[in-house]
Structure 1
Amino acid sequence: MQASGMPADRPPAAPPGPAPEDFPDDVPDAFGDAFPDAFADDSAEAMVSAFITLVTDVDRTPAYRARMEGSAGRPLPRSAISILFVLQRHGPLGVKEIADRLGVEQSTASRQIRPLEDNGLVRRTGDPRDGRAVLLDVTDDGRAARERIRQVWLRDIATVWRDWAPEDRAQLGALLTRFRDSYQDLRDRRGDP
């Protein structure tokens, strides 16, 4: 989750405990020379994993997806919404780059992009690095639709913690930002998209 309250491009399912070979040699091991064989259910790692699973599960429920799709102001499948967020965050991108970021086949990404183009939320532009290549970029209407969807997420977050003290909200935001940045650093070191 980003500091703005946005979920990742595509939240991962809760992974099993990390294995030593999952980390590059230059990433310090918080457990000394070896990872434990298993993490306890009440470990911090298990709690983070449970949180990610909750966010992923909520995102997959039909009612929540309908709310997200409806908030776009026009009918859009969830997959198209994910592409809209990827392009807003990382674009302009080619279809292959979008597919890589979402972990889908290029042909699947192409099909998922079509509703965005048909609705005027995404446009094709020439790639300045290669005149034969095409990039996709978010239009003004696409940015407005993305912002409407984002506001639904932010209202949900505000509802969840409405009884929390302001300092608790700030602390969680700071810790999630730190976790996100560290996780992104690990992804960068691994070369993940």
Structure 2
Amino acid sequence: MDRDDPAARGGAGGLTGGLDSDRSGDSDGVDCVDASREPGSDREPGSDQESGSDQESGSDQDLARIHEFVELVGLAARSPRQRERMLRAAGAPITGASLTLLRWIARHGSATSSDLARWLDLDQSTVSRQLRPLEEHRLVSRSADGTDRRVARLAPTEHGEALLAAVREVGLHDIGVALDGFTAAERRQLAELLDRMRLGMLDAQVDPTGRSVPPAR
């Protein structure tokens, strides 16, 4: 891992890099929580039960720790150096920008350059420039659109699918390094909890003020 990259510090295997581990607070004003502290270590001696305020404070701290984790992963995912590192480890002959296009094409099965420009909010010249390496290395193929033969559709080739699988393997390896020391049961429990969180994020609605709210049940 390149420790000179601010977005690559603070995590094993390059997965959780993104935030300085010694900072006192993040950009959104959520204080970092010392995850090494034992739960309840700040309770008064002789106190056997948490008061309502203690429980609320603990909940806030839990949310702050989860927020920190999400930020670390998000910043690592957006780090150009992180993408280049993963591509280098996977033996991929393209840049992170081209990898992003390949992922979007594969996610949708096929796409036009106009689709990519719209999805990623890029201009056509940028898309064309980033597509060029994918075509040069035969990672995508072109075919005429079924409804308008003047339009070319792009689809991943076998080489393109293999490259994406190789990059994914690097990512899985990174996660394995980060979870070194976890038991199989702990890994399974973590996966289940993260999947519940993922579904909750997908189901959440946004109110008129821009704040997320749980979906109507």
Q: TM-score range by the shorter chain?
A: 0.5 to 0.7
- The one-letter code sitting in structure 1 at the alignment partner of 2:83 is R
1:102 aligns with 2:120: yes
Q: Which deviates further from its counterpart, 71-80 or 161-170?
A: 71-80
Q: Is the 8 A contact 2:80 2:96 kept in 1?
A: no
Residues 151-186 of structure 1 show CA distances to partners (whole Å, capped at 9, x for unaligned) of 100001011102112222112222222333343345
Residues 101-156 of structure 1 show CA distances to partners (whole Å, capped at 9, x for unaligned) of 33433332222111111111011122223322221110000111111111100001
Q: Tell me which residue corresponds to 1:140.
A: 158
In structure 2, distance between residues paired with 1:43 and 1:103: 35
Q: Is the 8 A contact 1:80 1:115 kept in 2?
A: yes
Residues 45-67 of structure 1 show CA distances to partners (whole Å, capped at 9, x for unaligned) of x44442232123334162x3332
Unaligned runs of 5+ in 2: 1-14, 16-25, 30-58, 206-217
Q: Tell me which residue corresponds to 1:78.
A: 96
Q: Is the 8 A contact 1:123 1:139 kept in 2?
A: yes
Q: Secondary structure at the match of 1:136?
A: strand
Deviation at 1:16, TM superposition (A): 5.9
Paired residues in the alignment total 151
Cα distance, 1:41–1:129 mapped onto 2, change above 3 Å: farther
In structure 2, distance between residues paired with 1:125 and 1:183: 36
Name which structure has the greater RCO, CA cutoff 8 Å, separation 6+.
1
Q: Secondary structure at the match of 2:150?
A: strand
Q: RMSD of the alignment, in Å?
A: 2.9
Q: Tell me which residue corresponds to 1:55.
A: 73
Q: Secondary structure at the match of 1:89?
A: helix
Q: Tell me which residue corresponds to 1:42.
A: 61
In structure 1, distance between residues paired with 2:159 and 2:103: 13
Q: Which deviates further from its counterpart, 175-184 or 137-146?
A: 175-184
Q: Computing the radius of gyration over CA atoms, which structure comes out larger, 1 or 2?
A: 2
Deviation at 1:96, TM superposition (A): 2.5
In structure 2, distance between residues paired with 1:133 and 1:15: 44
In structure 2, distance between residues paired with 1:130 and 1:182: 39
Q: Is the 8 A contact 1:71 1:145 kept in 2?
A: no
In structure 2, distance between residues paired with 1:186 and 1:100: 24
Cα distance, 1:16–1:129 mapped onto 2, change above 3 Å: farther
1:176 aligns with 2:194: yes
2:107 to 89, 95, 114: 89
Unaligned runs of 5+ in 1: 1-6, 8-13, 18-39, 188-193
How high is the sequence identity, in percent, across the aligned residues?
A: 34
